[in-house]
Chain A
Amino acid sequence: MTKIGLEIHCQLTKLESKLFCPCKADYREFEPNTNICPVCMGIPGSLPLLNKNAVEKATLIAMALDCKTPNKIAFFRKNYFYPDLPKNFQITQLNAYGNTSIGWEGKISVEDKEIKIRRIQLEEDPGRLIYEGATEKTKLTLVDYNRAGTPLVEIVTEPDFETPHQVREFLNILSDLLENLNVSDPGLEGAMRADANVSIEGGSKVEIKNIGSFHDLEKAVHFEITRQQSLAERKIEIIQETRHWDEGRKITVSARTKEEEAEYRYHLEADIPWVRIDDNTKNQLQVHMPESISSKKERYVSKYGITSQVAGILSSDRYFSELFEKANNETNAKDIANMITTDIMGLLDTREKREMSKLEGDHISDLVEYIKSNKITRASAKLALDEVIKNGKQLSEIIEDLDLGHVSDEATLSDIITEVLDEEVKAVEDAKQNPDIVNFLVGKVMQKTHGKADPELTLTLLKKNLGL
Chain B
Amino acid sequence: MDLGISALNYVSSIKNGEFTVEEFTSKSLERISQVDEKLHAFLRVNDLAIKNAREIDTKIKSNQNVGKCYGMPISVKDNMCIEGSKTTCASKVLENFIAPYTSTVISKLNSEDAIIIGKTNMDEFAMGLSTEYSAYGPSRNPWNIDYVPGGSSGGSGVSVSANECIASLGSDTGGSIRNPASFCSVVGLKPTYGLVSRYGLVSYANSIEQIGPMTKTVEDSAFLLNIISGIDSNDNTTIDNKNQDYLRDIDIGVSGKKIGIVTEMTNSEGLSAEVANATNDAVKTFEKLGANCEHVSLQMVPYTVAAYYTITSTEAGSNLARYDNIRYGYEFDSSGFEFNSYISQARSKFGPEVIRRMILGGFVPSAGHAGKYFLKALKVKSKLIAEINHVFEKFDFLISPTVPIQPFKFGEKIQDPVSFMMIDFNTVTANLTGIPAISVPYKITNGLPIGIQIMANRLEEHSLLQTAYALEKTVDLPEVPV
A touches B in complex, CB < 8 A: yes
Stretch at the interface among B37-45, B131-139, B197-205: B197-205
Does chain A have a CB within 8 A of B335? yes
Q: Give the nearest-CB partner of B125 in chain A.
A: A44
A43 touching B362, Cβ below 8 Å? no
Q: Which residue in A50, A86, A143 is a CB contact (below 8 Å) of B322?
A: A86
Binary CB contact string for chain A from 37 to 56 against chain B (1 if under 8 A, 0 otherwise): 01001111111111000000
Check A265/B324 contact, CB under 8 A, given A49-B233, A83-B339, A139-B336: no
Q: Give the nearest-CB partner of B326 in chain A.
A: A83
**Contact residues in A for B343 (Cβ distance below 8 Å):** 81
Does chain A have a CB within 8 A of B236? yes
B87 touching A79, Cβ below 8 Å? no
Check A86/B367 contact, CB under 8 A, given A44-B81, A45-B99, A45-B201: no
**Contact residues in B for A49 (Cβ distance below 8 Å):** 233-234, 236
Binary CB contact string for chain B from 168 to 206 against chain A (1 if under 8 A, 0 otherwise): 000000000000000000000000000000111111001
A265 touching B81, Cβ below 8 Å? no
Complex alpha-carbon distance, A79 and B340, angstroms: 15
How many cross-chain pairs have Cβ atoms below 8 Å apart between A and B?
100
| Interchain nearest-CB distance for B327 vs A (Å) | 7
Main secondary structure of the interface of B (DSSP, over half): loop
Check A81/B324 contact, CB under 8 A, given A44-B81, A267-B315: yes
Main secondary structure of the interface of A (DSSP, over half): loop
Binary CB contact string for chain B from 350 to 369 against chain A (1 if under 8 A, 0 otherwise): 00000000000110011100
Complex alpha-carbon distance, A79 and B321, angstroms: 8
**Contact residues in A for B118 (Cβ distance below 8 Å):** none
| Interchain nearest-CB distance for B355 vs A (Å) | 16
Does chain A have a CB within 8 A of B207? yes
B340 touching A81, Cβ below 8 Å? yes
Does chain A have a CB within 8 A of B70? no
| Interchain nearest-CB distance for B328 vs A (Å) | 8
**Contact residues in A for B314 (Cβ distance below 8 Å):** 265, 267
| Interchain nearest-CB distance for B263 vs A (Å) | 30
Binary CB contact string for chain B from 320 to 348 against chain A (1 if under 8 A, 0 otherwise): 01101011100000011111100100000
| Interchain nearest-CB distance for B393 vs A (Å) | 25
Does chain B have a CB within 8 A of A357? no
| Interchain nearest-CB distance for A145 vs B (Å) | 9
Binary CB contact string for chain A from 312 to 347 against chain B (1 if under 8 A, 0 otherwise): 000000000000000000000000000000000000
| Interchain nearest-CB distance for B318 vs A (Å) | 5
Binary CB contact string for chain A from 83 to 108 against chain B (1 if under 8 A, 0 otherwise): 10011110000000000000000000
Does chain B have a CB within 8 A of A111? no
B101 touching A38, Cβ below 8 Å? yes
| Interchain nearest-CB distance for B204 vs A (Å) | 11
A271 touching B374, Cβ below 8 Å? no
| Interchain nearest-CB distance for B199 vs A (Å) | 6
**Interface size of B by Cβ–Cβ distance < 8 Å?**
47
A88 touching B324, Cβ below 8 Å? yes
B198 touching A47, Cβ below 8 Å? yes
Binary CB contact string for chain B from 439 to 452 against chain A (1 if under 8 A, 0 otherwise): 00000000000000
A270 touching B202, Cβ below 8 Å? no
Q: Give the nearest-CB partner of A261 in chain B.
A: B367
**Contact residues in A for B234 (Cβ distance below 8 Å):** 47, 49
Q: Which residue in A44, A48, A50, A263 is a CB contact (below 8 Å) of B367?
A: A263
B315 touching A271, Cβ below 8 Å? no
B236 touching A44, Cβ below 8 Å? no
Q: Give the nearest-CB partner of B238 in chain A.
A: A47
| Interchain nearest-CB distance for A230 vs B (Å) | 34
Does chain B have a CB within 8 A of A77? yes
**Contact residues in B for A50 (Cβ distance below 8 Å):** 236
**Contact residues in A for B337 (Cβ distance below 8 Å):** 139
B236 touching A265, Cβ below 8 Å? no
Does chain A have a CB within 8 A of B407? no
Binary CB contact string for chain B from 45 to 86 against chain A (1 if under 8 A, 0 otherwise): 000000000000000000000000000000000011100000
**Contact residues in A for B202 (Cβ distance below 8 Å):** 44-45
Binary CB contact string for chain B from 197 to 236 against chain A (1 if under 8 A, 0 otherwise): 0111111001100000000000000000000000001111
Does chain A have a CB within 8 A of B237? yes
A273 touching B99, Cβ below 8 Å? no
Q: Which residue in B100, B237, B324, B326 is a CB contact (below 8 Å) of A271?
A: B237
| Interchain nearest-CB distance for B89 vs A (Å) | 8
Q: Give the nearest-CB partner of A82 in chain B.
A: B339
B103 touching A263, Cβ below 8 Å? no
Does chain A have a CB within 8 A of B10? no
Q: Give the nearest-CB partner of A46 in chain B.
A: B199
B207 touching A265, Cβ below 8 Å? no
| Interchain nearest-CB distance for A20 vs B (Å) | 9
Which of A81, A88, A267, A268 counts the most B-chain CB atoms under 10 A from its CB?
A267
Complex alpha-carbon distance, A426 and B374, angstroms: 93
B324 touching A45, Cβ below 8 Å? no
B322 touching A88, Cβ below 8 Å? yes
B339 touching A141, Cβ below 8 Å? yes
A81 touching B100, Cβ below 8 Å? no
| Interchain nearest-CB distance for A342 vs B (Å) | 52
Complex alpha-carbon distance, A354 and B44, angstroms: 59
Check A270/B315 contact, CB under 8 A, given A42-B322, A45-B199: yes
Q: Give the nearest-CB partner of B102 in chain A.
A: A45
Complex alpha-carbon distance, A83 and B237, angstroms: 28
A41 touching B327, Cβ below 8 Å? yes
Q: Which residue in A79, A86, A89 is a CB contact (below 8 Å) of B327?
A: A86
Complex alpha-carbon distance, A43 and B202, angstroms: 9
Complex alpha-carbon distance, A205 and B438, angstroms: 57
**Contact residues in B for A38 (Cβ distance below 8 Å):** 100-101
**Contact residues in B for A77 (Cβ distance below 8 Å):** 318
Binary CB contact string for chain A from 264 to 281 against chain B (1 if under 8 A, 0 otherwise): 011110111100000000
**Contact residues in A for B235 (Cβ distance below 8 Å):** 47, 271
A265 touching B335, Cβ below 8 Å? no
A43 touching B321, Cβ below 8 Å? no
Complex alpha-carbon distance, A141 and B324, angstroms: 15
Binary CB contact string for chain A from 20 to 44 against chain B (1 if under 8 A, 0 otherwise): 0000000000000000001001111
**Contact residues in B for A141 (Cβ distance below 8 Å):** 339
Does chain A have a CB within 8 A of B260? no
Q: Give the nearest-CB partner of A79 in chain B.
A: B318
| Interchain nearest-CB distance for B187 vs A (Å) | 25
**Contact residues in B for A42 (Cβ distance below 8 Å):** 322, 327
A270 touching B206, Cβ below 8 Å? yes
Does chain A have a CB within 8 A of B127? no
Complex alpha-carbon distance, A265 and B358, angstroms: 12
**Contact residues in B for A43 (Cβ distance below 8 Å):** 81, 99-101, 328
Complex alpha-carbon distance, A263 and B339, angstroms: 18
Q: Give the nearest-CB partner of B336 in chain A.
A: A139
Complex alpha-carbon distance, A48 and B237, angstroms: 10
Q: Which residue in A41, A87, A143, A266 is a CB contact (below 8 Å) of B321?
A: A87
**Contact residues in A for B207 (Cβ distance below 8 Å):** 268, 270
Does chain A have a CB within 8 A of B308? no
| Interchain nearest-CB distance for A291 vs B (Å) | 34
Does chain A have a CB within 8 A of B97? yes
Which of B94, B321, B367 counts the most A-chain CB atoms under 10 A from its CB?
B321
Binary CB contact string for chain B from 140 to 178 against chain A (1 if under 8 A, 0 otherwise): 000000000000000000000000000000000000000
**Contact residues in A for B327 (Cβ distance below 8 Å):** 41-42, 86
Check A44/B237 contact, CB under 8 A, given A141-B339, A265-B317: no
| Interchain nearest-CB distance for B28 vs A (Å) | 26
**Contact residues in A for B97 (Cβ distance below 8 Å):** 44
Known contacts A44-B89, A47-B199; 6 additional CB pairs below 8 A are A38-B100, A38-B101, A41-B327, A81-B343, A267-B374, A272-B236
Interchain residue pairs with CB less than 8 A apart (7) = A44-B87, A45-B198, A45-B201, A47-B198, A81-B343, A267-B314, A271-B206
Q: Please list the residues of chain B having a beta carbon within 8 angstroms of any beta carbon in chain A.
A: 79-81, 87, 89, 94, 97, 99-101, 103, 198-203, 206-207, 233-237, 314-315, 317-318, 321-322, 324, 326-328, 335-340, 343, 361-362, 365-367, 374
Which are the 8 A-B pairs with shortest beta-carbon distances?
A: A270-B207, A88-B321, A44-B202, A45-B200, A265-B365, A45-B81, A87-B322, A270-B206
